[in-house]
Amino acid sequence: KAGVTQTPRYLIKTRGQQVTLSCSPISGHRSVSWYQQTPGQGLQFLFEYFSETQRNKGNFPGRFSGRQFSNSRSEMNVSTLELGDSALYLCASTSEGLAYTGELFFGEGSRLTVL
Amino acid sequence: AQSVSQHNHHVILSEAASLELGCNYSYGGTVNLFWYVQYPGQHLQLLLKYFSGDPLVKGIKGFEAEFIKSKFSFNLRKPSVQWSDTAEYFCAVISYSSASKIIFGSGTRLSIRP
C-alpha cells in the first residue's frame, strides 16, 4: 500500500508570493489533515478535510487555506508569504478522521523556505 | 487554552540507560493520547496510543506510557534505550469537546550515545 505522498518536497519562495502544496493520502483514506512544523514549536494543526469538507481548523490566519478533491487528494495554499511561514508542512491521512483515529499516517513533508 | 507540554527539549543518554519523557496536557475532559516518533530522515509514525482501559499502554520497540488522569500526564518510558532510539518524540492529545482538534507538544529530541 503506497504511503502518503507530498509534493513538492522542497521549495523556495520570496515574501509576498503564494504557494500551493499537494498531498495524496493512502488509498481509501478520506481524512487529510495539515500541520506546520517548526523548531521549538513542534507540530501545529492547520486544518482537517474529510470527504471534501473542512471539518476542523487550527489557529492560523486566513492566508492559510486548503481544499480536498473527490479523490481525497488535498491541497494547501498560503498566500502573501511571510518569512515566518518558513517551515516543514506535513500532511497526514486516516480513514475516519481525527475524531475517531487511532493513528495518523504522515507524509515526508514539504519544506518551504521564504526569502 | 488547551496545551501539551513536553518539558525536556533535548535528552542525552547512554545506551542501556532508562528513559522517561514527560508529557502533560491541560484539559479536563475526555482525551485520547498519543506518542509519535520521528527518526532521522523518516516520517512521523505512531509509537503508542491511549483511548481507554488499562492506563499502562505498550507500543512498538519496547516503549510504554502511563496515563495518570489526576496528573494530566502521559509519560513515555523505556527500560533500556538503544542507539537506534535516537529520534524526536512528540506527545499529542485529541480532546473531544473542542471540535476534535489534535494538539502536539513541541517535541523532545533524544540522543543516544553508543
Please check the confidence at residue A37 and state whether its pLDDT lies above 90. Answer: yes
Supply the mean pLDDT for chain B: 92
Please choose, from the candidates A46, A42, A27, A28, the residue with its C-alpha nearest in 3D space to the C-alpha of residue A91: A46
Please check the confidence at residue A101 and state whether its pLDDT lies above 80. Answer: no
Torsion of CA A70, A72, A73, A78, to 10 degrees: 90
In tens, the pLDDT along B15-71 reads 999 999 999 999 877 888 999 999 998 999 999 999 889 999 999 999 999 999 999
Q: Cβ-count burial of B114 within 10 angstroms (0-12 exposed, 13-18 middle, 19+ buried)? A: exposed
Residue with cell 542525552: B12
Q: What is the pLDDT of residue B114?
A: 83
d(CA A78, CA A20): 7
Q: What is the pLDDT of residue A86?
A: 97
Contact B46 A104 (CB under 8 A): yes
3-class state of residue B84 by DSSP: helix
- Which of A42, A92, A104 minimises the CB distance to B107? A42
Mean pLDDT on B89-104: 82
Q: Give B99 to chain A, closest Cα distance, Å.
A: 7
